[in-house]
Chain A
Amino acid sequence: MTTATTHGARDHARAQDGTEVEAMPRVPAPDGAVWAETVAGGNYTHKVLARGTELRFTDVAGDACAHVLLYVADRPFERLNVADTVKVLWNAYPGAGHLLLSDQGRVLASVLAADAAVETVCGTSTSARNAARYGDGSPHGASPAGRELFTLAAAKNGLTPRDLPPSVSFFKGVRVDPDDGRLTFEGSSRPGASVTLRAEMPLIVLVANTAHPVDPRPDYTCTPLEVLARPGTPTRPDDPLWNSSPEARRAFLNTADHLTARGVA
Chain B
Amino acid sequence: MANDVWVYIEHKDGNASPMSFELLGIGKELADNLGSSVCAFVVGENVENIAKEAFSYGASKVYSVEDGVFKGFRAEAYAKAASFLLDKYKPEVALFRATSQGTDVSAASAASLGFGLCTDSIGIKIDGGQIKLTRAAFGGNYTVTVVNEKAKPQITTVRPKAFAMPEKDASKQGETVKESFSIAESDLNTKVLEFIKSEVAVNLVEADIIVSGGRGVGGDDGFKMMKELADILGAAVGASRAAVDSGWISYEHQVGQTGKTVKPKIYIACGISGAIQHLAGMRTSDCIVAINKDPDAPIFKNASYGIVGDYKQVVPKIIEKFKTKLNK
Chains A and B are bound partners: no
